[in-house]
Amino acid sequence: MRLPLGQGEPLPPDFPYQGAWIVENTLFLYQPDGAQIVAGTAPRFTASGPGFGEGKVSVGIDASQLAAAFTISIDDIFAANRDGSLAITGARTLPAHPLGDNAREFVFRLAEQTRALVLTQNIDPRAT
């Protein structure tokens, strides 16, 4: 199986978050300061990072939320991203969602498990 470009690679040193790419320059996994695993998959804002092209923004997924969805540790979710056993299998904008116009569903696979997270995108001022 071929991994997405840059999967598991650390984010650049000058990036506003600590984490790793899921898809280089597009989607990243991050661990916010003081992150703890939170039960459930309640919607949260995603982070945004600098885009790598005119007008582009990269999207960040909170590692604690994804780890909780799979009932594993944050370290294990980062390890799964590095070794390619974590995969994003889909993403879509949700029409007329109670969370607003920016609600997106991201579908991830880890081993034989699939989990969907509904998140809203928060354009972080650090991304510009």
The confidence score (pLDDT) of residue 123 equals: 45
pLDDT tens digit at each of 128 positions of the chain = 566 778 999 998 988 889 999 988 888 999 866 644 444 445 455 666 666 555 677 888 889 889 999 999 999 999 999 999 999 999 888 776 565 566 788 899 998 999 988 777 654 444 43
74 within 8 A of 31, measured Cβ to Cβ: yes
Query: Quick check: is 8 in a domain?
Result: no
Residue 116: give the domain boundaries: 19-122
Domain count, the chain: 1
Query: Quick check: is 12 in a domain?
Result: no
**What is the full DSSP assignment across 10-73?**
BPPTTSSS-EEEEETTTEEEE--TT----SS----EEEEEE-SSTT-EEEEEEHHHHHHHHT--
Sequence-ordered list of residues with C-beta below 8 angstroms from that of 73, at least 6 positions apart, any chain:
37, 67
Q: Are strands 45-50 and 113-121 parallel, antiparallel or unpaired?
A: parallel
Query: Quick check: is 27 in a domain?
Result: yes
The confidence score (pLDDT) of residue 128 equals: 38
Query: Quick check: is 127 in a domain?
Result: no
Query: Quick check: is 23 in a domain?
Result: yes
Query: Quick check: is 100 in a domain?
Result: yes
Does the predicted model carry a pTM greater than 0.85? no
